[in-house]
């Protein structure tokens, strides 16, 4: 199969063609032959986009599958132009050792989803590395589930066993969180100081134990210079940012939307939102990763429960067109933060499946995300594929849309 149109890489946009055989890209060039599929100039063809921070809520316990499961998460991902995801480990049956990780993997295989799901393993009090290579996630402070530490000394001790591993950090200092527990709002109970303090600690751990580190859902402007400084010292650290921290800020929180707008870390000041957009554009932030958290509207409306997080898989690609056409992000920058960088993150783990994501080059998996920059998308509840059935973007019109999605050589319906 030959696909023709405007091809985007982190280096350039060029008119060209891609030849696909089976699940793989075998050739890319200006003119390979008569195309089977041709996309016009309103469209941009990207390597398949990857969201390396989601919560699909599905595991062997099936206790949270009323919110989402791998099938509905996969449908929402494809609807949003996402071809691979990485799923967080804070499940009721958390994958924290060889046996529990393999069990979740078998459970995922049973679901037979078209997208590729990389599973994180959790790091919690007393855990040890698995016997095979996986990405790890560590929750410093109380979040969802039991996978968290109450003191940083305890976390340091545990991380000492994970020397050289790939570890993602949820940066909120548990000690500072508990010092602010009686503040009147969610935002004031989790102030910027918690994230800045935790950033310092995470960077210290990354250096001390030679970790390949990633900071999740970064939200505070003052923390960004710390990340740049650590990189200039040679630390291996990358950083995610979410659609909600780039689009919303705390001034938009009302009594009506308070539940829906609650997440960890919380929405921040307008100045933080601007700083994050500039840091994503400038390269301090590496990945657009959603932290897709499919809680039901009933749970979000109940002040006694009110779990944190927002669903974002359905709207990933349309949101990207907002970054491009409203915030002026170049196609090349989008190819870096939505395709190449997420691909680089998961490729060591998907190689065993014969997969390689992130670039429109021979040898890479033939998964593609095609955006249409001339046809807007208005987000409507009835169009969403996520089982939780809502989006914080409902009623919002993004300037572009998903034109087509190819997953491992096949065009998705
Ligand atoms: Zn998360």
Centre of ligand 1 to C-alpha 43, Å, is 31
pLDDT of residue 35: 98
Centre of ligand 1 to C-alpha 53, Å, is 6
pLDDT of residue 158: 93
Residue 214's H or E segment, with its range, is strand 212-215
Give, in degrees to the nearest 5, the angle at Cα 243 between 121 and 343: 50
Centre of ligand 1 to C-alpha 350, Å, is 21
Spatial separation of the C-alpha atoms in residues 170 and 264, rounded to whole Å? 9
pLDDT of residue 92: 92
Centre of ligand 1 to C-alpha 68, Å, is 15
What size, in residues, is the chain? 413
Centre of ligand 1 to C-alpha 344, Å, is 20
Centre of ligand 1 to C-alpha 313, Å, is 13
Q: Note the pTM of the prediction, 2 decimals.
A: 0.97
Centre of ligand 1 to C-alpha 311, Å, is 11
Q: Tokens 């998460």 map to which residue?
A: 73
> What phi-psi label fits residue 5: left (phi over 0), alpha (psi between -120 and 50 degrees) or beta?
left
pLDDT of residue 146: 60
Centre of ligand 1 to C-alpha 361, Å, is 31
Spatial separation of the C-alpha atoms in residues 236 and 286, rounded to whole Å? 12
Residue 153's H or E segment, with its range, is helix 152-159
Centre of ligand 1 to C-alpha 216, Å, is 8
Centre of ligand 1 to C-alpha 69, Å, is 16
Please list the ranges in the chain whose pLDDT falls under 50.
Answer: 144
Query: Residue 376: how many CB atoms within 10 A of its CB?
Result: 14
Residue 145 CA to chain centroid, in angstroms?
A: 19
Return phi, psi of residue 244, to 5°.
-65, -35
Centre of ligand 1 to C-alpha 51, Å, is 12
Centre of ligand 1 to C-alpha 172, Å, is 12
Give, in degrees to the nearest 5, the angle at Cα 54 between 134 and 333: 90
Centre of ligand 1 to C-alpha 55, Å, is 6
Give, in degrees to the nearest 5, the angle at Cα 309 between 279 and 387: 120
DSSP helix/strand/coil, 320: helix
Centre of ligand 1 to C-alpha 373, Å, is 29
Centre of ligand 1 to C-alpha 145, Å, is 12
Return phi, psi of residue 111, to 5°.
-70, -20
Centre of ligand 1 to C-alpha 15, Å, is 37
Centre of ligand 1 to C-alpha 161, Å, is 23
pLDDT of residue 144: 46
Spatial separation of the C-alpha atoms in residues 172 and 193, rounded to whole Å? 9
Centre of ligand 1 to C-alpha 29, Å, is 39
Centre of ligand 1 to C-alpha 88, Å, is 7
Centre of ligand 1 to C-alpha 219, Å, is 13
Q: How far is CA 162 from CA 68, 174, 242, 249, 352, in A?
A: 31, 21, 27, 36, 22
Centre of ligand 1 to C-alpha 96, Å, is 16
Centre of ligand 1 to C-alpha 241, Å, is 11
Centre of ligand 1 to C-alpha 247, Å, is 17
Buried b (16+ CB within 10 A) or exposed e, 161-196: ebeebbbbbbbbbbebbeeeeeeeebbebbbbebbb
pLDDT of residue 321: 98
Centre of ligand 1 to C-alpha 177, Å, is 17
Centre of ligand 1 to C-alpha 143, Å, is 9
Spatial separation of the C-alpha atoms in residues 33 and 1, rounded to whole Å? 10
Centre of ligand 1 to C-alpha 295, Å, is 12
Centre of ligand 1 to C-alpha 109, Å, is 22
**In this structure, are residues 105 and 89 in contact, taking their beta carbons and an 8 Å threshold?**
no
Centre of ligand 1 to C-alpha 290, Å, is 8
């Amino acid at each position: 199969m030959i696909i023709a149109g405007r091809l985007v890489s982190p280096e350039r946009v060029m008119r060209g063609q891609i030849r696909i055989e089976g699940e793989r890209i075998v050739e890319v060039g200006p003119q390979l032959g008569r195309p089977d599929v041709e996309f016009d100039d309103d469209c941009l063809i990207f390597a398949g986009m990857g969201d390396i921070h989601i919560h699909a809520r599905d595991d062997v316990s099936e206790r949270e599958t009323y919110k989402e499961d791998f099938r509905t998460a996969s449908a929402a991902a494809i609807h949003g132009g996402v071809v691979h995801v990485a799923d967080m480990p804070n499940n009721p049956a958390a994958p924290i050792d060889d046996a529990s990780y393999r069990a979740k993997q078998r459970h995922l295989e049973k679901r037979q989803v078209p997208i590729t799901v990389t599973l994180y393993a959790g790091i919690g009090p007393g855990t040890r590395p698995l016997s095979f290579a996986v990405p790890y996630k560590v929750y410093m402070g109380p979040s969802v589930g039991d996978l968290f530490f109450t003191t940083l000394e305890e976390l340091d001790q545990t991380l000492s066993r994970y020397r050289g591993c790939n570890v993602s950090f949820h940066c909120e200092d548990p000690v500072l969180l508990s010092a602010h527990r009686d503040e009147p709002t969610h935002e004031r109970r989790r102030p910027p100081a918690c994230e800045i303090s935790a950033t310092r600690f995470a960077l210290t751990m990354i250096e001390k134990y030679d970790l390949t580190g990633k900071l999740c859902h970064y939200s505070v402007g003052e923390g960004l210079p710390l990340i740049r400084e650590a990189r200039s010292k040679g630390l291996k650290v990358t950083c995610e940012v979410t659609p909600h921290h780039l689009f919303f800020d705390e001034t938009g929180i009302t009594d009506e939307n308070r539940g829906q707008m609650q997440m960890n870390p919380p929405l921040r000041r307008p100045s933080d939102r601007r700083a994050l957009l500039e840091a994503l554009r400038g390269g301090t932030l590496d990945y657009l990763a959603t932290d897709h958290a499919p809680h039901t509207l009933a749970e979000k409306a109940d002040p006694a429960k009110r779990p944190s997080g927002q669903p974002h898989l359905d709207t990933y690609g349309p949101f990207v067109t907002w970054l491009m056409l409203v915030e002026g992000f170049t196609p090349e920058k989008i190819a870096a933060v939505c395709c190449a960088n997420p691909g680089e993150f998961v490729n060591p783990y998907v190689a065993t499946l014969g997969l390689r994501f992130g670039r429109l080059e021979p040898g890479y998996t033939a998964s593609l995300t095609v955006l249409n920059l001339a046809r807007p998308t208005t987000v409507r509840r009835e169009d969403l594929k996520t089982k939780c059935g809502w989006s914080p973007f409902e009623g919002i019109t993004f300037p572009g849309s998903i034109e087509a999605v190819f997953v491992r050589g096949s065009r998705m319906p």
